[in-house]
């Protein structure tokens, strides 16, 4: 059943992506940026999915510390790892956009820097897990670290409002936002596809983590016999 | 006038500033950037998906091996 749900989600995400590619390609060019503005249709959904993932990781980490249920630890690691890949998409597409519009691959701007720190923090989370052998200790330390790492997420989100920055100002959920409705629709559809893809990958990783735990148990049983 | 001598000079002067050629170049770089962005996004996501698939196979093999090991050990015991 779970397998069918995952395959269904992946198929639906693929169909939406392919269908939406046409919708994005027929949109008029942005006046100042030209065609490159279309990168936003991947850049923003990837960031939104990654940020939502880090919020889920935070909740799962808190729940693990409260309930000591390893399901929440598995969920936290699954959602964080997939989020890291999506945040990498966000950083790389942003860098390519910056090369065309700003003329440089990277600028030590508050938004870019905080997003990079966020990526490094969550990569550190996965490295920390590799370094600890004992399952309960690993899950507890990782949960505390994940809660600490999440403190960077609001900084990433609000950085363009709090500080003077060269990153474009928000065009959604803002008084000054000027995103036309058809562009917003195309972005919303891509966002849905990206979230479906993210959820499907998380479900696969969650199942893998649970199987890995089972493997560890079997290994201990085999040694005991 | 000597035409063969003037032609390279005219080409050189044209080459100094050609707004149409500059604009075409800018649009081309713009489009290339967009394609590279899309390609990079998909390459990262597909590489990660491939990593997950490889890990899935490894976990399944490990699970089978361990199950057989436990069954054998129980029979011997």
Q: Number of A to B CB contacts under 8 A, please give it.
A: 84
Q: How far apart are CA A66 and CA A140, in angstroms?
A: 10
* Secondary structure (3-state) at A30: strand
User: Where do we find the tokens 């945040």?
Assistant: A87
Structure-token pair, residue A217: 């148990």
Indicate whether A172 pLDDT > 80. no
Q: What is the mean pLDDT of residues A139-168?
A: 93
B68: nearest CA partner in chain A: A222
Return the residue in B34, B53, B74 with the most chain A beta carbons within 10 A, the one to mutate for interface testing: B34
- Share the mean pLDDT of chain B: 83
A39 pLDDT above the threshold of 80: yes
Kindly tell me if the per-residue pLDDT of B1 is higher than 70: no
pLDDT in tens, B39-55: 999 999 999 999 999 99
Confidence of residue B57 (pLDDT cuts 50, 70, 90): very high
DSSP A43-58: HHHHHHHHHHHHHHHH
To the nearest whole Å, the CA of B36 is away from the closest chain A CA by: 7
Scan for tokens 């003077």, then name that residue: A164
Residues facing A30 on adjacent strands: A34
| Nearest chain A Cα distance for residue B53, angstroms | 9
Per-residue pLDDT tens over the stretch A173-208: 666 666 777 888 888 999 999 999 999 999 999 999
Whether B33 and A100 lie within 8 Å, measured CB to CB: yes
ipTM of the complex: 0.89
Residue B2, pLDDT above cutoff 70: no
User: What's the token pair of residue A17?
Assistant: 């992506």
pLDDT at B8: 65
pLDDT confidence band for B16 (50 / 70 / 90) = low
With beta carbons less than 8 A apart as the criterion, state whether A76 and A61 touch.
yes
Give A187: exposed, middle or buried? Use CB within 10 Å, 0-12, 13-18, 19+: buried
| Whole-number CA gyration radius for chain A | 20
Residue B65 clears pLDDT 70, i.e. is over it: yes
pLDDT in the model for residue A116: 97
pLDDT of residue B15: 61
The reported pLDDT for the residue numbered A175 is: 67
pLDDT, position A49? 96
Q: Which helix (H) or strand (E) holds A105?
A: none
Residues in A whose CB is inside 8 Å of some CB of B read: 33-36, 38-39, 42-43, 46, 82, 85-86, 88-89, 92-93, 96-97, 99-100, 197, 201, 204-205, 208, 211-212, 214-215, 218-219, 221-222, 225
User: Residue A2's pLDDT is what?
Assistant: 81
Model confidence band, residue B73 (pLDDT cutoffs 50, 70, 90) = confident
Is A39 in contact with B45 (Cβ distance < 8 A)? no
Question: Could you tell me which residues come within 8 angstroms of residue A34 by beta carbon, excluding any fewer than 6 positions away?
Answer: B26, B27, B30
What is the pLDDT, as a whole number, of residue A174? 64
Average pLDDT on B47-76 reads 89
**Which residues touch A121 (CB under 8 Å, ≥6 apart)?**
A149, A152
B37 at interface of A, judged by CB pairs closer than 8 A: yes
What are A64-115's pLDDT values in tens digits?
A: 999 999 999 999 999 999 999 999 999 999 999 999 999 999 999 999 999 9
Angstrom distances, CA of residue B77 to CA of A147, A192, A214, B15, B67 = 46, 54, 22, 88, 15
pLDDT (0 to 100) of residue A11: 92
Name the residue facing A92 among B33, B44, B67 (closest C-beta). Answer: B44
Chain B residue with CA closest to A208: the answer is: B56
- B31/A218 touch (CB, cutoff 8 Å), yes or no: no
Give pLDDT tens digits for B24-43: 888 888 888 999 999 999 99
Please state, in angstroms and rounded to a whole number, the distance separating the CA atoms of residues A159 and A167.
Answer: 10
The SS3 of residue A34 is strand
Q: Which residue has the higher pLDDT, A168 or B44?
A: B44
Mean of all residue pLDDT scores within chain A: 90
User: Any chain A CB within 8 A of the CB of B39?
Assistant: no
Q: Find the closest chain A residue to B77 by CA distance.
A: A225
Mean pLDDT of A140-166: 93
For residue A130 the two structure tokens come to: 């590799």
Sign of CA dihedral B8, B13, B15, B19: negative
Please classify residue B67 by burial: count the beta carbons closer than 10 Å to its beta carbon, then call 0-12 exposed, 13-18 middle and 19+ buried: middle
Q: DSSP states of B7-63 as a string?
A: HHHHHHHHHH--HHHHHHHHHHHHHHHHHHHHHHHHHHHHHHHHHHHHHHHHHHHHH
């Amino acid at each position: 059943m779970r397998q069918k749900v995952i395959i269904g989600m992946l198929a639906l995400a693929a169909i939406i992506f392919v269908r939406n590619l046409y919708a994005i390609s027929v949109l008029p060019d942005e006046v100042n940026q030209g065609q490159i503005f279309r990168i936003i249709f991947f850049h923003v959904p990837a960031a939104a999915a990654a940020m939502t993932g880090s919020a889920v990781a935070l909740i799962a980490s808190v729940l693990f510390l409260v309930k000591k249920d390893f399901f929440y630890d598995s969920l936290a690691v699954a959602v964080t790892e997939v989020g890291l890949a999506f945040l990498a998409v966000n950083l790389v597409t942003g860098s390519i956009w910056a090369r065309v519009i700003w003329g440089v691959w990277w600028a030590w701007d508050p938004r870019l820097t905080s997003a990079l720190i966020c990526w490094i923090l969550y990569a550190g989370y996965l490295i920390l897990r590799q370094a600890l052998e004992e399952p309960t200790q690993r899950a507890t330390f990782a949960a505390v670290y994940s809660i600490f790492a999440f403190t960077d997420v609001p900084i990433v989100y609000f950085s363009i409002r709090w500080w003077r920055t060269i990153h474009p100002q928000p065009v959604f959920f803002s008084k000054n936002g000027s995103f036309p409705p058809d562009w917003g629709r195309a972005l919303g559809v891509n966002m849905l596809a990206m979230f479906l893809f993210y959820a499907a990958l998380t479900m696969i990783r969650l199942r893998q983590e649970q199987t890995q735990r089972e493997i560890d148990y079997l290994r201990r049983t085999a040694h005991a016999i | 006038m000597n035409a063969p001598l003037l032609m390279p000079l005219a080409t050189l002067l044209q080459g100094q500033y050609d707004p149409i050629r500059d604009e075409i170049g800018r649009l081309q770089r713009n489009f290339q950037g967009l394609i590279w962005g899309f390609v990079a996004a998909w390459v990262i996501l597909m590489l990660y998906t491939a990593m997950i698939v490889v890990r899935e196979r490894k976990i399944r093999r490990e699970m089978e091996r361990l199950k057989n090991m436990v069954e054998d050990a129980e029979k011997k015991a």
